[in-house]
Chain A
Amino acid sequence: MSGFTDHPDQDFGVRIHDALGDAELRESFHGAMTFLRDKRRAQFPDADALETLRDSGAAIRDRALAQLPDLLEQLEDRCRHNGIQVHWAETADDANRIITGLIRAVNGQRIVKGKSMATEEIGLNTALEDAGFTCLESDMGEYIVQQAHETPSHIIMPAIHRNKASIARQFAEQIPDTPYTEDVDELIGTGRRVLRRAFAEADVGISGVNFAIAETGTLCLVENEGNGRMSTTVPDTHIAVMGIEKVIEKLADLPDLMRLLPRSATGQAITTYVNMISGPRREDECDGPRQVHLVLIDNGRSRIYADRQLRATLRCIRCGACMNHCPVYERLGGHAYGTVYPGPIGQVVMPQLFGLDHAGKLTQACSLNGACGEVCPVRIPLPDLIRRLRHEGVSADPASPVRGHGRQRRVSEALIWRAWQWIHTRPAVYRLVTRAATRARRLLPPLPRAWTRHRAPLEPAERSFQEWVRHHKKDHRP
């Protein structure tokens, strides 16, 4: 059983150890990641066209961020004009209080939710339970993990850590009149039957937002299943929840982002549904929600925004390509991170939200291979940002903008690097040290056990590289 924590550094090593030892889990992730990477690659056959599109995606998101406060005001203004009520939340708790208040105000009893990472981020389900409400997840993957009292292990495919046999067992045990079957069509049919009833009876629907368009006051939701449309169409009250960074300037910005998002996420040219909501049901319309609310969440984003380099974090369109291509994520799976956003983007977002004292160790679970940065559709320099956060983690600079900075600093490590720097910036010393190390290599003390437990012991070569080169040149002189 796994849950999200606001202190992911705690027991991170234990979770890594357990994940690596779980053969079934590793097989699930290896299969799923290979599948998603292949599908994405097939969608971008022209490498040059992809790079141009990524430039465009980055430029669109950057332009929106450069105008962020103005676009948020414009969005609020247009939404109000369209009949959408706008609420602002500084923290996760504020957001949960606002949403709970909205549900109470309409005397909501049955709540359904379309897939939304923002509501995962604020821990909405738990907050609603504490307030006496139950909120049913309606995305098939989310429904499966909610029923098992688990958390999603991937931001696009929440139940990616589960195989069909375990889902078949779960349905047979927990849903009345459901025989055991591993037939995926039948399993989805079961989910459809249960959730249909819930949609028909729900009085409040909660959703996320993929893009909010300031120009027209439109909330854009992207999905394949139809649960997002159900949650935003059938209940009388629709509450949309989004991070303040998700606003874009105009409708014309949408096509390129839509060319990037589904292809990067699931390798689809377009999702089955692109649902654009610009207001509640009008008087002459027969269906649709009677009230639409938009809850805008800051929750640390304005702090990220204040740093020029870290601001790029906010370009993210939550496609999950970075985790699909991360060799560490593929081997660990999402739960090991203990965070709502796992993988590379999580390693950049979570330390900034929770502070480096609580989530700084996440940045260490990275080999800096750069794959995430190469696939990001909006060119977030993820490897640079991970390095930057590692630096902030050990930085002694009191002006560091990241909370909990310097808390990963250890004096012994700092001294080792100081010495390393001293040696490597003095050629004479460097030659002397390498010469001594190679000559005395049999006499050197063994490496600490932390190194040798999982790796072969290291021993200096007979000659330093510089000596070898000099010798080699002499031999081959014409």
Chain B
Amino acid sequence: MKPRDRILSRLRHGRAASPATPYPAPETTAVTPSAPNIDSMVSALEAAHAQVFRMAEADWPDHLASLATERNWQQWWVGRDEAAATWQAHGSAPSVTVFEDWDGQKAALFDSAPISLSQAQGGIADTGTLIVESRPEAPRTLSLVPPVHVVIVREDSLFPDMPAAMVFYSRHGMPTNLIFISGPSKTADIQQTMAYGAHGPRELIVYLCR
């Protein structure tokens, strides 16, 4: 017998020998809020040290351009998603690199990509969470490697809570990599002192658009 079959057979034998009395499931009266609570999205993200701007969708490029001037952000890295196209069309950024060739651009992404911009496919209002799917037009490392990450997300793409999001993915299927992001990367591994930018972005900037 193969190890797999031996393990499964031991489990089946053990289960037959002492059948379980399953733990009674609670009578759930879980009320899923009908609409996502936008205020909770903002306050949870801010509590997690993210910076949040709310505005009409048409307004974020101008706002981001002035923020970029103020912070002196020059070298932008993007994928081929909607936010990238809008940002390139806006034309205010001195340099926009499209990340599409892993082997050719990986070293540069790690060494000299200070800031990335991407679109989030959705969010979870309850916990202040951005939902980012891996897609051909949206490389997963863009939300991970550069020290500053700017995310565009639409208010109408938010789920009220995680159960609602799970219902959606159970129905529509999972992308190869589904990532929930709830703030910049952080650690409290040294004497319980919170430090941001452990391995991922130090700064997370969210444009929540109507």
**Residue positions of A touching B, CB distance < 8 A:** 28, 31-32, 35-36, 52, 55-56, 58-59, 61-63, 65-66, 68-69, 72-73, 76, 82, 88-90, 94, 138-141, 144, 157-159, 162-164, 167, 184-185, 187-189, 191-192, 195-196, 199-200, 215-216, 218, 224-227, 229-230, 233-234, 244, 250-252, 254-255, 258-259, 266, 269-282, 284-288, 296, 298, 302-303, 305-308, 311, 379
Tell me the minimal C-beta distance from B53 to chain A in angstroms: 20
Tell me the minimal C-beta distance from B37 to chain A in angstroms: 14
Asked if B34 is at the interface (CB within 8 A of a chain A CB), the reply is: no
Q: A72-B11, A188-B187 are in contact. List 10 more A-B contacts (CB 8 A).
A: A36-B192, A90-B3, A140-B187, A163-B191, A185-B195, A216-B173, A229-B140, A230-B199, A270-B127, A303-B14
B188/A276 in contact, CB under 8 A: no
Contact flags B10-49 to A (C-beta < 8 A → 1, else 0)? 1111110111111111101000000000000000100010
B20/A311 in contact, CB under 8 A: yes
B3/A89 in contact, CB under 8 A: yes
A218/B174 in contact, CB under 8 A: yes
B191/A288 in contact, CB under 8 A: no
* Cα–Cα, bound, A306→B10 (Å): 8
| Residue numbers in A under 8 Å from B18 (CB-CB) | 306-308, 311
Nearest B residue to A157 by beta-carbon distance? Answer: B189
A196/B141 in contact, CB under 8 A: no
* Cα–Cα, bound, A62→B77 (Å): 46
| Residue numbers in B under 8 Å from A282 (CB-CB) | 136, 176
Nearest 6 pairs of A and B residues by beta carbon? A226-B200, A306-B14, A141-B189, A226-B199, A225-B198, A62-B23
| Residue numbers in B under 8 Å from A139 (CB-CB) | 189
* Cα–Cα, bound, A419→B139 (Å): 72
Partner of A273, one of B26, B28, B179: B179
A254/B192 in contact, CB under 8 A: no
Stretch touching chain A among B55-63, B68-76, B94-102, B115-123: B94-102
B177/A278 in contact, CB under 8 A: yes
Nearest A residue to B23 by beta-carbon distance? Answer: A62
| Residue numbers in B under 8 Å from A58 (CB-CB) | 23
**Residue positions of B touching A, CB distance < 8 A:** 2-4, 6-8, 10-15, 17-26, 28, 44, 48, 79, 99-102, 106-107, 110-111, 127-129, 134-136, 139-141, 144, 161-163, 166-167, 169-170, 173-193, 195, 197-201
Q: Provided the pairs A230-B199, A273-B181 are in contact, do residues A286 and B99 lie with their beta carbons within 8 angstroms?
A: yes
* Cα–Cα, bound, A311→B184 (Å): 38
11 contacts between A and B (CB under 8 A): A72-B8, A90-B6, A140-B187, A157-B189, A225-B198, A272-B184, A273-B181, A275-B180, A281-B176, A298-B3, A302-B11
* Cα–Cα, bound, A199→B10 (Å): 39
| Residue numbers in B under 8 Å from A273 (CB-CB) | 179-182, 185, 200
Tell me the minimal C-beta distance from A67 to chain B in angstroms: 9
* Cα–Cα, bound, A328→B177 (Å): 41
* Cα–Cα, bound, A215→B171 (Å): 11
Tell me the minimal C-beta distance from A259 to chain B in angstroms: 8
B176/A258 in contact, CB under 8 A: no
* Cα–Cα, bound, A22→B2 (Å): 49
Nearest B residue to A168 by beta-carbon distance? Answer: B190
| Residue numbers in B under 8 Å from A52 (CB-CB) | 26, 28
| Residue numbers in A under 8 Å from B110 (CB-CB) | 196, 199-200
| Residue numbers in B under 8 Å from A141 (CB-CB) | 187, 189-190
* Cα–Cα, bound, A306→B12 (Å): 9
| Residue numbers in A under 8 Å from B6 (CB-CB) | 90
| Residue numbers in B under 8 Å from A224 (CB-CB) | 185-188, 198
B28/A288 in contact, CB under 8 A: no
| Residue numbers in A under 8 Å from B141 (CB-CB) | 233-234, 287
B198/A184 in contact, CB under 8 A: no
Nearest B residue to A282 by beta-carbon distance? Answer: B176
A251/B191 in contact, CB under 8 A: no
A164/B178 in contact, CB under 8 A: no
| Residue numbers in A under 8 Å from B175 (CB-CB) | 278
A216/B190 in contact, CB under 8 A: no
